Amino acid sequence: MRKVAFFAAVVCCIFYFSVNALAQNTQPRYIGMTNGVTMGGSGQTWMNQMCISTWGANAHMCNTDQFFGTAGNNKSAANERYLWVQPVLHNCVNTGTGIMCTEAGSSALVEQSENYTSCAAWTSSSDSNGSAVQYNPGTGWTLQPPQPCSSSYHVACCAP
């Protein structure tokens, strides 16, 4: 009976750790940039398609949480000035004069209307700005001030 109980405990531990390992591997992580560049207003569907064309069926445009949570010291875009990323806003507060938020990669609390934006939901290449990251050998990856949507950059791609 003790052998059966011991065996059952071992099987449970193996199952528990293998399920946790599988779950951890399904979280989206930064895998690299697209082969081509695109303007910020080209649409998120197009940006996702560029990631799929470069990295396969599960790839998509990274959001800032996915990117900064997994990019680490990956220098795949070291020669590129910027990569487009999907903004994710956190810690929004109403100050009485407006909504203020922060975004992953930035500690600044700024007005939501001036925050790291997405080129009017990635549909406008004029009169708006979008979120971009940059790799600097001295500081690593940083969120940049919003970039003009008329600019052409590679897209940061993530996949499970």
Closest by alpha carbon to 28, among 56, 73, 55, 65? 65
Q: What pLDDT score was predicted for residue 33?
A: 92
CATH topology of domain 27-159: Mannose-Binding Protein A; Chain A (3.10.100)
Q: What is the pLDDT of residues 99-150, one digit of tens each?
A: 888 776 677 776 665 555 788 888 888 878 899 999 887 778 888 888 999 9
Q: How do the domains of the chain map onto residue ranges?
A: 27-159
Q: What is the pLDDT of residues 86-113, one digit of tens each?
A: 988 778 888 888 788 877 667 777 666 5
